[in-house]
Amino acid sequence: MNAEKSDLTDQVALITGGAGAIGRAIGEGLVKVGAKVVLVDIDEIRLMQFQQELAAKYGAESVLPVVADVRDVRQVKHAFELTLREFGQLDILVNNAAVTQVKSVDALSDEDIDLVIDTNLKGYVLCVREAVRIMKESRTKGSLLFISSKNGLVGASDKSLYCATKGGELTLARALAKELGKLGIRVNTICPDAVLEGSSLWADDDYRLGTAKRHGISEEELPDYYKERSALKTNIQPQDVANAALFLVSNQAAKITGAIITVDGGVAFVR
């Protein structure tokens, strides 16, 4: 379901993980309907390439790329300062940046633990804090959107820490929906299943091979594995997540907050 152009024209959205597969799809979707987007990502090369693609299609004035690590409070603050300096407002935050590993809990290093928790939880909180401060000051009835995961709803072997942080995102979103509702700020979450297309995560050899090993299949069989386990017998594409995202941040969802939408083709969590 796509937002009408009038819903989001001239809205300003900041998207973390803006150069990743889901971030790119949401960013382009918003620009298409007349919004302005701030793309925040740690990967400068990928970020600038995407910014150039969007600028060529829609004009450079609608896109602001910002290289930043969501774990770093100074870099997060700077990203939001640049947003206000460039566009003068903030209406939408899409918390999307995330990392994971495929490791048994006893194999996790201290660095692994810090990376996953600081990116997937601390990073979400840092960005929400800045967004809410801006929205409160400007009395903006904005929208906060969290991109969680099916693993926020159910555990998975050798991904315990990732599952815990994704579950934490869901609880954080629902708590914020209660806290911010009186201000007219909505908070919703999307839980996708495996988005393989264009994903830097799935391009990582260790993660891809580790996932295949965990399921007892070859890496070539991964797309069919995820397709066959869904009720609709389909793979999830970045655009599928973007369609849900544009709905949730649009006026069509004006009375929806605290919601969790699964974009997974109907995965059977309990077998």
Domains in the chain: boundaries:
5-195+236-263
Whole-model pTM: value is: 0.93
The residue count of the chain comes to 271
Sign, CA torsion 146/147/151/157? negative
The CATH architecture that domain 5-195+236-263 belongs to is 3-Layer(aba) Sandwich (3.40)
- Residue spans of alpha helices (H) in the chain: 5-8, 21-32, 44-58, 73-87, 110-117, 123-138, 160-180, 200-203, 205-215, 222-228, 238-249
Establish whether 207 is a catalytic residue.
no
Q: Identify any residues that bridge with 260 across adjacent strands, giving them in sequence order.
A: 189
**Active site residue: 124, 162, 207, 226, which one?**
162
pLDDT tens per residue, range 184-214:
999 999 999 888 777 776 666 666 677 777 7
267 pLDDT tier (thresholds 50, 70, 90): confident
- What is the token pair recorded at 254? 């004006």
pLDDT tens per residue, range 5-49:
458 999 999 999 999 999 999 999 999 999 999 999 999 999 999
pLDDT at site 196: 77
Residues 6+ apart with CB under 8 A from 133: none
